[in-house]
């Protein structure tokens, strides 16, 4: 299934677009994100260890319960997994973005998360004999395939609708503007080779961009005065 393929996920993420304006400006280079020198691989491995350590401690929750948060963290970790190519949704704090946004821009989805996460865990227990968070990654992928294809039972409506909802929000939290709580340390943008917001592009910048060599500036859109700051919850 495509959701466990990093290359396919990055292509899909570029097409989906995030809730924030910045994501619509993404111009990903998937090949550049998945292929690099040995030195680049070593740097990614070092960054991965550092980000994993930061993610170890639970952050204060704004809308999800602790149980829901643990389950969501496990799900997003499989949707955009951490692998040899670099960090994934966990290190980008995609679940943190979703938790925060459920009190604002994604408030209409709060009940869907309550019902959907509960149904996911119930289905995991009935079909695999364990809570989703206790399954091996292989079995977690198997459960998510059932959810993605609509084969999972116990959901309000089709399980595929819930899968699509979470996948879309995971893309937003991984590749959207970090101002909104996800894409921590610009992990998502670095992963797909997006160099960052430019309010002005020089001829030299354009040449570098065409060669996929423009140096990332690691700036949020809201670091520029020309952008109006919306609330972190989307208000």
Domain spans in the chain, listed from the N-terminal domain onward: 2-223
pLDDT of residue 74: 97
Angle between helices 159-175 and 6-16 (to 10 degrees): 80
| 143: pLDDT strictly greater than 80 | yes
Mean model confidence pLDDT for the chain? 75
pTM summary value: 0.69
Tokens encoding 110? 């709060």
Residue 47 CB-density burial (10 A; 0-12 exposed, 13-18 middle, 19+ buried): middle
* Alpha-carbon span 55 to 57, nearest angstrom: 6
| 71: pLDDT strictly greater than 80 | yes
The contacts found for 65-70 with CB under 8 angstroms, 24 or more apart, are 68/113, 68/114, 68/117, 69/95, 69/99, 70/133
pLDDT of residue 126: 97
pLDDT (tens digit, 9 = 90+) per residue, 91-142? 999 999 999 999 999 999 999 999 999 999 999 999 999 999 999 999 999 9
Minimum mean pLDDT range among 42-46, 83-87, 102-106: 42-46
pLDDT (tens digit, 9 = 90+) per residue, 166-179? 999 999 999 988 88
DSSP notation for 91-102: HHTHHHHHHHHT
Which one has a higher pLDDT value, 25 or 128? 128
| 17: pLDDT strictly greater than 50 | no
CB 104 within 8 A of CB 231: yes
pLDDT of residue 59: 72
3-class state of residue 86 by DSSP: strand
* Alpha-carbon span 39 to 43, nearest angstrom: 6
Most confident stretch, 3-17, 136-150, 201-215: 136-150
């Amino acid at each position: 299934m495509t959701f466990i393929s990093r290359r396919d996920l990055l292509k899909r993420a570029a097409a989906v677009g995030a809730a924030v304006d910045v994501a619509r400006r993404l111009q990903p280079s998937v090949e550049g994100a998945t292929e690099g020198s040995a030195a680049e691989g070593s740097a990614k491995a070092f960054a991965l260890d550092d980000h994993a350590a930061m993610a170890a401690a639970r952050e204060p929750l704004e809308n999800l319960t602790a149980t829901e948060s643990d389950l969501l963290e496990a799900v997003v970790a499989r949707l955009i997994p951490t692998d040899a190519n670099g960090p994934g949704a966990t290190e980008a704090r995609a679940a943190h973005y979703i938790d925060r946004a459920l009190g604002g821009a994604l408030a209409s989805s709060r009940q869907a998360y309550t019902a959907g996460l509960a149904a996911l865990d119930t289905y995991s227990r009935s079909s695999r004999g364990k809570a989703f968070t206790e399954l091996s990654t292989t079995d977690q992928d198997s459960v998510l395939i059932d959810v993605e294809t609509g084969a999972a039972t116990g959901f309000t409506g089709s399980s595929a609708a819930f899968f699509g909802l979470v996948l879309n929000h995971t893309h937003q939290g991984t590749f959207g503007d970090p101002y909104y709580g996800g894409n921590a340390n610009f992990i998502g943008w670095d992963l797909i080779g997006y160099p960052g917001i430019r309010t002005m592009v020089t001829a030299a910048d354009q040449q570098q961009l065409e060669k996929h060599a423009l140096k990332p500036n690691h700036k949020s859109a809201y670091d520029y005065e020309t952008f109006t700051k919306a609330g972190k919850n989307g208000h």
